[in-house]
Amino acid sequence: MGIQRKMNWGIIGLGKIARKFAADLQIVPDARLHAVASTSRERSTAFAQQFNVPHAFDSYQALLECPDLDVVYIATPHTLHCENTLMCLERKIPVLCEKPAGMNPQEVHKMVTTATLNHTFLMEAMWTQFIPAFKKSMSLLASGVIGKPLSIKADFGFAAPYNVDGRAFNKDLGGGSLLDIGIYPVFLALEIFGQPIDIQAFAQFSPTAVDTTCAILFKHEKGALSMLHSTFTSLTNTEAYIYGEQGTIHIHPRFHHPEKISLHVQGKPVKEFSMPYQGNGYQFEIEEVNRCLRKKLLESPLMPLEKSVRLAETLYKIREKIGLVYPKQDVL
């Protein structure tokens, strides 16, 4: 692949997030949307017209045969992530897969093993990791300015209209607040403290038996605590606080793709960091994938596969606490 040529992206599953991602691809100079695939011919044609995509397919398999494809972004519901990722990796096509990488640790292990066996790049689309203000919050923490972190508080909530068929409430599509949005507070806790040594969690359930609200408490090594919350029932601030021995880092709403953070030391505001960006915020993960592919890396140093495995393991342990099972995917 010539260093000058733009990276040719494909997208599988043309729903809501695919549109936002396609818009951000347009602002990344060394990327272009080369091919899209949908289960519907009309959808792929309309999407291709809107985003000026040269190749449109009415099946995911057909996209895999498209010449000059460099990488595929998987934007299907959670329950299809594993299957769709394996389809690509088995043909040695690099993959950026939406979160959660898989429905459970078994699926994520299978994805990681297949990537390794095929020497092919794979990354979970945990875009938070690449947002400039989020990276700043992590570097502030590492600088020691708030001292040792002792606890965090993070939430993600919005009022989702109840619809039994929509992805949020449909068990067959991996519905529930924990896997959809609770994954972000859990990700933050793991970034800061690593895996918990004890977990408490409580949930409320929809008539379709997925969690509409999940409250989580982690105990970590050396007594650190994470207080986490996700919900589809009400709009919450969707912000995060990292409390240290000497100060606090506040990641302003919405903390999973922040544009502002503030630093407090000894209870006093010290500095605000305003780091706005153009676009929807997916351009940073796109740039990371491009960078990794050009360097022939098989995983991102910032979002390695090990992080996806740990995330999946932790989400599964929370599910065990609240009794949330996905019978079609979970190996019981």
d(CA 217, CA 200): 5
Binding mask 192-221 for ligand NAP (x = CB under 6 A): ------------------------------
Stretch that binds ligand NAP, among 16-24, 244-252, 264-272, 296-304 (CB under 6 A): 16-24
Whichever of 134 and 243 has its CB closer to ligand NAP, that residue is: 134
d(CA 44, CA 22): 13
The set of residues, in sequence order, having a beta carbon less than 8 Å from that of 288 and lying 6+ positions away, is 123, 130, 300, 302, 303
d(CA 317, CA 306): 17
- The answer to whether 238 and 155 have CB atoms below 8 angstroms apart is yes
Give min distance, CB of 36 to ligand NAP, in A.
8
Binding mask 97-136 for ligand NAP (x = CB under 6 A): -xx-------------------------x-x---------
Residue holding tokens 């689309």? 125
d(CA 266, CA 269): 9
Q: Which of 11, 17, 56, 305 binds ligand NAP (CB under 6 A)?
A: 17
Whichever of 16 and 222 has its CB closer to ligand NAP, that residue is: 16
Binding mask 23-42 for ligand NAP (x = CB under 6 A): ---------------xxx--
- Is residue 34 helix, strand or coil? strand
Inter-CA distances, 194 with 4, 42, 330, Å: 39, 45, 24
- The answer to whether 329 and 172 have CB atoms below 8 angstroms apart is no
Binding mask 153-182 for ligand NAP (x = CB under 6 A): --------------x-----x------x--
Q: Which of 7, 14, 71, 216 binds ligand NAP (CB under 6 A)?
A: 14
- Which residues would be at the binding site for ligand NAP (CB under 6 A)? 13-18, 38-40, 43, 75-78, 80, 98-99, 125, 127, 167, 173, 180
